[in-house]
Chain A
Amino acid sequence: MRLSTRAPAVAAVAVALLLVGSATAYGSWARSRPLDSNATISSGTIGLTAAWTSPLSTTQMWPGQSRVGTVRLTHSGNGRWNYAVAVAASGALAPDTTFALTTSTGPGVCGTTPITPGAWSTTTYATGTSVDVCVTVTLSPTAPSASQGRPLSIQVTGSARNQPTY
């Protein structure tokens, strides 16, 4: 009889000690606060349009002659931006032509600062601004007579890369 009444009592004490031990081992304080109730961050966009403001005509060129056209790159979206321009020529006349890219210093005015095709501009531009790029094509002075009447197709590709907003 005494054993039967002691056993539950011993078990109850053991459980109580375990519970007390657990609370002591895992208790610690922490005070948390939410960052901000108005903390939804949204990303922006980037867009680029390219248009000839002064079209590049390659009709009836003769050896040694150069023609110039101006491409306007216009940024849209968010953040600042810089750009890269590349030119690709195709057609039977392409091997006899060379291209040069320069910055434009004003409407219809080409500067002398060369632009390396495919290289990102070192200048960063403000959101929503435009940049004019002059594209000069030259028919080689040594172009053979056989090049007369050959076709030439030019593709100018402008790319924009976002830069931090500030």
Chain B
Amino acid sequence: MRKTTKGAIAVGAGVALLLGGAGTMAYWTDSSDLDSNTTVTAGNLDLAPVAASAAWTWKTGGQTFVPATSRIVPGDTVVFTQRYTVTAQGDRLKAQLMVNGVPTKTAHTPVNPANVLDDKLVLTPLVTVVGTLPAGVVVAATNDSLTVTNPGAAALTFQVDVKVEVEFPFGTADAQNGTTQSVDLSKTTISLNQTV
């Protein structure tokens, strides 16, 4: 075979290979928008105290308790009451009212366990809905907590009275331990927490 013929065959094979390679890299695409109505909007969850609605009382008798001057003894329970406006919005929102992150009766978490009063106090949340109970709002019978379930797309607004009972339990004789002590409960939180 002549050299020119061999060269022509080699070039032809190379072109064929190149053409074959280019063919394997070809692909098709098509695009379409997701939907013409694709704006997604978040709901809302809020707990706002009603102005001038906070009050302290003695649980028994209902007399006014003045934290600055009143003094509690073992066996006493004082009650803090505050009215809140709850806003809940979300087709499938679930939320629960909690005190210090716990919905049920719980011992106060002492900041200073050496403080007997701090160590002994027990805080219990109680919730009362003001007026007619809106649809989707449940006051759980087991723990007196508030549960908001599926309030809906429109904002659901209602008011609740939240009571936090602060109990200094009466127990066994303990001499004078725990007298003249103070506990700052201002860091105690009342919160509406989203749940699953």
Contact = CB atoms under 8 A, between A and B. Distances in A.
Given A28-B194, A165-B73, A33 B68 contact: no
Contacts of A29: 45, 95, 193-194
Interface residues of B, number: 52
Contacts, number: 140
30 contacts: A29-B45, A29-B95, A29-B194, A30-B191, A31-B45, A31-B191, A33-B84, A33-B189, A33-B190, A34-B188, A35-B190, A36-B82, A36-B186, A39-B185, A40-B67, A40-B185, A41-B67, A41-B72, A42-B117, A43-B117, A44-B72, A77-B179, A78-B72, A78-B73, A79-B74, A163-B73, A164-B75, A164-B76, A165-B72, A166-B60
Interface residues of A, number: 28
A43 B73 contact: yes
A41 B71 CA distance: 7
B21 interface: no
B11 to A, nearest CB: 28
A45 B180 CA distance: 6
Contacts of A24: none
What are the 3 closest A-B residue pairs judged by CB atoms, nearest first?
A44-B71, A79-B73, A164-B75
Contacts of B74: 79, 162, 164
Interface in B175-196: 176, 178-195
Contacts of A32: 47, 189-191
